[in-house]
């Protein structure tokens, strides 16, 4: 380094007189002040006030306030002037924490007066305070370092354009993780083969292999690097390079040019689903305007996106960004379309896949790697779109940097091409005092749930009482409230396995079957078209026969997969072969295939009817491939309007919305089956759908069952399985699905496991760590009981039989075959009308009509009078406290508390002549109280 002194401005000499005889200022002292106090803003990335203070040239050039920082006299230099301003002046430097200490100001004054000597070639670097602090903090944490990894776990560099960004990832003993890329000592084994540039690995040699080595805290991680054709270039491709820019910059989103009619006269296919069409629109419409081959920079495609000309969507990226460079290069090369053989994306992967961040504002870089059909891979982090499903817990920025927020779990979705994948982020409070509690682990369910809770540092609630348990399992397993005799018998049972015994008995009851028949009847939309007109299809008779078929199949305890195969491959008449009514509940073929996906696989594929799904894996090819299984359904009327024959018509194809070509049948998320002409496509599809070959079927049924018992699905809502709505506990769902498959799809056995688990048997009382958690099964959820079960309970408790159309007196609301048969109570309390397959058809939200109906309507008041329960108890000579006890057991499933007894006794004492009325009013109050309406 040369320390040749350079008198910058000779006329400054005049100022020298003011500094007297002190020794000349050493530049290192000045440098320390600049680096510590000024460069945070005046660095090449920020250049505040257009002043760059890292180099001598930038410093001399000055900023926007003054042409040069050096004035005639030291005190007239802009630099010194700004340092000397009063403390409350807006222009004072530095703006934060200023003014500088007098000694530093004096130092700089002297330095300026001496001619502001800056040794040639010295470049200053800002001291990153945050980084220094983070490093100091990390050193402490490193004593508990358990594992050091580099992602991706290997790198292949195929051309000289290829690069892969690496992430160095530390896992600590407390299971927390950290992005330590900036702190690790990084090296490439052989610098002649590959090099590191800003954490990205690039090829140096044409062919060769080496490794990247990261060391930190005494641990070392290595990944292999293979270079193939590292000197070869590849041309910018329309599909591989240009189209991803459109997706990344949101050009082709639904609100912009991706809209069906485009935007401001320019249309792109939504999410880039139609590259050929986009190519034509770009190059063949308004020739020479969107693409200007002569002067690429003057293409509207370039000018609009870089903000050079007004653009409704504003500036999307800088002119010197890699995005714009890609577009420019493509145009400069002639804006060519790709050869048909161009490699396609076959999948993407994110790294790291699981992170556990500690405290707020911790960060972690996520990278995305795409693989192509020619066997190559690329780092597409800069081209992918990122989204968090839970921003308060963890946000992700557009470059894939995750930043933690509140405690909880979140999924980071990355989308590239038609693929979406997620990484899971867990955030736990910093410095949390936590010790893994000893929690009961009854079976595989608890293993998965407890592990998850441990990772989230959530302590589960206690086990519920026997009183709570019996009421809960009665409502959940058989849809009934326990009767007083059943309650007392159970509470007197002292066997250690009494809870399992109780469930065993309930599973054998017909009400268990009926509850599940009702749930399936909702999913299969078993309903007639009764309201208004009973004379149009579907007819009540059809609905009834269909329901009875379903009830008989489930009643026989046939495995659900077999029932589904029979249902979906049914042929015959709607009266003579009732299962075919499934194909009468939805005549629109597109909707029908959507319904099948939603009901049996829990997936909503509707979006893919017109465009590739934006938040999921489904493409239009998948959609129309699946739809093709339903393309050959024939329907034929008979002389009985109630009897419609559904048959395999052996003809008809599924036409792609965009290409208008016939699409071959392809299982959703599976392969294309071999089909002979005339094969019943529905049967082929059904046999795949309800089998272990289709991983979604067992998962979906298991999740439906789980959600029924726990109030929240592992995937929730249960019919919205998609990449961007991942299961809250993937291990749990995998295990439930595997067991259900092993059990040959016998739902009873799964119910046994669930009700036996500690997770199901928890109390609804919260503790500090689980009060805000609703998704991880740390406590029982308080749930409003569904309408049918409530009405049946009111009927049972008040001893007043129900009467529904088509059913004998005393039938239960759960047994109603037809979704269109209802009454005011059921409607108001949210019974499913079965008008759609959506899980939201069943409503349990409270509303004012419900409150009014309970208070004044016939459901409670009239039934208390009609059933004469209180009158009979009085006639039997029962004492007040006996009657109160009986009523509490009937309605709440528990004994009255002391305060409750006291209040009621006092009311009787106040009106002894009206004893019956007081007791009936008590009965009314119990049935108007929240405790009756909620399962807890």
Footprint of other proteins (CB under 8 A): 254-255, 259-261, 389-393, 406, 408, 615, 724, 764-766, 781-784, 824, 828, 840, 844-853, 855-857, 861-862, 865, 897, 899-900, 903-904, 907, 911, 917-918, 921-922, 924-926, 928-931, 933-934, 936
Could you give the angle at which helices 560-568 and 681-689 cross, rounded to 10 degrees?
Answer: 160
Torsional sign, CA 739, 745, 749, 752: positive
Contacts of residue 48, defined as CB under 8 A and 6 or more positions apart, other chains included, come to 41, 42
The H or E element containing residue 654 is strand 654-655
CB of 778 to other proteins, least distance (A): 14
Closer CB to other proteins, 28 or 588, in the complex:
588
The residue count of the chain comes to 936
Closer CB to other proteins, 109 or 783, in the complex:
783
Q: How many CA atoms lie within 13 A of 686 on its CB side?
A: 18
CB of 895 to other proteins, least distance (A): 11
CB of 926 to other proteins, least distance (A): 6
CB of 257 to other proteins, least distance (A): 12
CB of 269 to other proteins, least distance (A): 16
Closer CB to other proteins, 587 or 610, in the complex:
610
Closer CB to other proteins, 374 or 835, in the complex:
835
CB of 722 to other proteins, least distance (A): 9
What is the rounded CA–CA span in Å between residue 107 and residue 86? 19
Closer CB to other proteins, 372 or 934, in the complex:
934
CB of 844 to other proteins, least distance (A): 7
Contacts of residue 133, defined as CB under 8 A and 6 or more positions apart, other chains included, come to none
What is the rounded CA–CA span in Å between residue 532 and residue 746? 40
CB of 310 to other proteins, least distance (A): 16
Closer CB to other proteins, 77 or 724, in the complex:
724
Contacts of residue 70, defined as CB under 8 A and 6 or more positions apart, other chains included, come to 8, 9, 12, 60, 77, 79, 112, 116
* Cβ neighbours of 213 (radius 10 Å): 16
φ, ψ (nearest 5 deg) of residue 784: -65, 130
Could you give the angle at which helices 484-492 and 466-473 cross, rounded to 10 degrees?
Answer: 130
Do 29 and 17 touch, CB atoms closer than 8 A? Answer: no
CB of 523 to other proteins, least distance (A): 19
* Cβ neighbours of 192 (radius 10 Å): 10
Closer CB to other proteins, 254 or 505, in the complex:
254
CB of 528 to other proteins, least distance (A): 21
Closer CB to other proteins, 540 or 933, in the complex:
933
What is the rounded CA–CA span in Å between residue 209 and residue 205? 9
Quick one: how far is CA 54 from the chain centroid?
A: 44
Q: How many CA atoms lie within 13 A of 85 on its CB side?
A: 16
Closer CB to other proteins, 241 or 773, in the complex:
773
Closer CB to other proteins, 725 or 755, in the complex:
725
Quick one: how far is CA 403 from the chain centroid?
A: 16
Q: What is the dihedral of CA 742, 748, 752, 753, to 10 degrees?
A: 30
Closer CB to other proteins, 415 or 752, in the complex:
415
CB of 515 to other proteins, least distance (A): 21
* Cβ neighbours of 256 (radius 10 Å): 21
Closer CB to other proteins, 666 or 786, in the complex:
786
What is the rounded CA–CA span in Å between residue 851 and residue 928? 8
Q: How many CA atoms lie within 13 A of 614 on its CB side?
A: 15
**Three-state SS string across 320-332, please?**
CCHHHHHHHHHHH
Write the burial class of residue 709 (CB in 10 Å: 0-12 exposed, 13-18 middle, 19+ buried).
Answer: middle
CB of 315 to other proteins, least distance (A): 19
Strands (E), 258-404: 345-351, 354-358, 363-365, 367-372, 377-379, 385-388, 394-396, 401-404
CB of 925 to other proteins, least distance (A): 4
Closer CB to other proteins, 264 or 504, in the complex:
264
CB of 763 to other proteins, least distance (A): 10
Closer CB to other proteins, 784 or 834, in the complex:
784
CB of 717 to other proteins, least distance (A): 12
Closer CB to other proteins, 286 or 903, in the complex:
903
Nearest to 382, CA basis, from 366, 405, 360, 371: 366
The H or E element containing residue 406 is none
């Amino acid at each position: 380094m040369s320390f040749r002194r350079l008198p910058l401005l000779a006329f400054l000499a005049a100022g020298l007189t003011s500094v007297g005889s002190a020794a000349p200022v050493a530049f290192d002292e000045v440098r320390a002040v600049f680096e510590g106090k000024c460069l945070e803003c005046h660095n090449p990335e920020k250049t505040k006030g257009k002043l760059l203070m890292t180099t001598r040239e930038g410093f001399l050039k000055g900023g926007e306030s003054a042409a040069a920082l050096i004035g005639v006299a030291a005190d007239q230099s802009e630099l010194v002037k700004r340092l000397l301003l009063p403390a409350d002046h807006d222009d004072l430097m530095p703006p934060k924490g200023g003014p500088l200490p007098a000694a530093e100001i004096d130092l700089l004054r002297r330095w300026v007066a001496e001619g502001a000597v800056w040794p040639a070639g010295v470049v200053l670097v800002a001291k990153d305070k945050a980084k220094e602090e983070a490093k100091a903090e990390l050193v402490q944490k490193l004593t508990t370092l358990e594992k050091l990894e580099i992602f991706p776990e290997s790198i292949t560099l195929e051309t000289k354009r290829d690069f892969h960004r690496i992430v160095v990832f530390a896992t600590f003993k407390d299971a927390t993780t950290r992005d330590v890329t900036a702190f690790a000592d990084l090296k490439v084994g052989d610098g002649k083969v590959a090099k590191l540039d800003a954490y990205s690995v690039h090829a140096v040699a044409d062919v060769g292999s080496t490794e990247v080595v990261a060391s930190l805290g005494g641990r070392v991680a290595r990944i292999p690097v293979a270079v193939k054709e590292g000197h070869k270039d590849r041309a910018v491709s329309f599909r591989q390079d240009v189209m991803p820019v459109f997706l990344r910059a949101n050009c082709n989103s639904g609100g912009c040019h991706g809209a069906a009619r485009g935007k401001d006269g320019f249309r792109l296919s939504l999410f880039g689903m139609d590259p050929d069409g986009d190519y034509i629109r770009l190059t063949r419409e308004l020739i020479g305007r969107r693409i200007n081959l002569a002067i690429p920079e003057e293409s509207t495609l370039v000018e609009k996106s870089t903000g050079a000309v007004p653009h409704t969507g504003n500036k999307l990226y800088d002119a010197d960004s890699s995005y714009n460079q890609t577009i420019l290069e493509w145009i400069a090369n002639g804006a060519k379309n790709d050869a048909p053989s161009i490699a396609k994306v076959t999948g993407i992967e994110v790294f790291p896949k699981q992170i556990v961040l500690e405290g707020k504002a911790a960060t972690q870089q996520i990278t995305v790697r795409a693989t192509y059909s020619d066997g190559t891979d690329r780092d597409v982090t800069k081209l992918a779109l990122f989204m968090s499903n839970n921003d308060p817990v963890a946000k992700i920025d557009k470059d894939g940097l995750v930043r933690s927020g509140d405690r909880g779990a979140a999924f980071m979705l990355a989308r590239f091409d038609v693929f979406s994948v997620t990484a899971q982020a867990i955030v736990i409070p910093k410095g949390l005092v936590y010790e893994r509690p000893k929690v009961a682990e009854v079976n595989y369910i608890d293993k998965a749930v407890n592990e998850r809770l441990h990772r989230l540092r959530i302590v589960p609630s206690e086990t519920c009482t026997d009183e709570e348990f019996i009421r809960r399992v009665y409502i959940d397993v058989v849809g009934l409230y326990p009767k007083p005799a059943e309650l007392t018998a159970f509470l007197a049972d002292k066997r250690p396995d009494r809870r399992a015994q109780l469930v065993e008995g309930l599973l054998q009851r017909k009400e268990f079957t009926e509850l599940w028949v009702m749930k399936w009847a909702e999913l299969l939309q078993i309903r007639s078209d009764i309201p208004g007109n009973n004379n149009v299809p579907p007819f009540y008779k059809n609905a009834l026969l269909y329901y009875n078929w379903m009830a008989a199949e489930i009643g026989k305890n046939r495995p659900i997969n077999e029932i589904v195969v029979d249902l979906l491959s049914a042929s015959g008449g709607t009266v003579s072969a009732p299962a075919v009514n499934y194909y009468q509940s939805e005549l629109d073929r597109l909707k029908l295939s959507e319904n099948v996906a939603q009901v049996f696989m829990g997936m909503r594929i509707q979006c893919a009817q017109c465009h590739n799904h934006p938040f999921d894996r489904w493409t239009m090819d998948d959609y129309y491939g699946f739809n093709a299984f339903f393309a050959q359904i024939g329907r034929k009327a008979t002389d009985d309007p109630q009897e419609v024959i559904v048959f395999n018509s052996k003809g008809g194809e599924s036409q792609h919305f965009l290409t208008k070509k016939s699409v071959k049948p392809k299982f959703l998320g599976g392969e294309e089956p071999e089909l002979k002409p005339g094969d019943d496509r529905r049967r082929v599809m059904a046999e795949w759908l309800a089998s272990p070959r289709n991983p979604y079927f067992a998962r979906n049924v298991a999740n439906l069952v789980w959600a029924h018992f726990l109030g929240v699905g592992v995937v929730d809502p249960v019919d919205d399985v998609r990449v961007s709505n991942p299961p809250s506990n993937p291990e749990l769902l995998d295990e439930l699905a595997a067991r259900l498959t092993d059990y040959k799809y016998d739902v009873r056995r799964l119910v046994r496991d669930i009700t036996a688990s500690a997770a199901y048997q928890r109390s609804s009382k919260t503790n500090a760590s689980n009060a805000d958690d609703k998704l991880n099964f740390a406590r029982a959820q308080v749930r409003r009981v569904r309408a049918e079960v409530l009405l049946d309970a009111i009927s049972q408790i008040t001893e007043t039989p129900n009467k529904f159309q088509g059913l004998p007196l005393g039938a239960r609301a759960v047994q109603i075959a037809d979704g269109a048969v209802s009454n005011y109570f059921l409607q108001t309390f949210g019974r499913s009308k079965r008008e759609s397959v959506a899980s939201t058809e069943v409503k349990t939200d409270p509303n004012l009509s419900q409150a009014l109906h309970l208070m004044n309507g016939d459901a409670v008041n009239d039934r208390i009078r009609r059933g004469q329960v209180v009158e009979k108890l009085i006639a039997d000579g029962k004492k007040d406290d006996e009657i109160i006890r009986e009523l509490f057991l009937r309605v709440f499933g528990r004994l009255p508390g002391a305060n409750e007894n006291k209040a009621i006794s006092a009311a009787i004492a106040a009106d002894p002549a009206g004893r019956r009325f007081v007791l009936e009013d008590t009965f009314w109050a119990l049935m108007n109280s929240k405790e009756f309406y909620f399962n807890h």
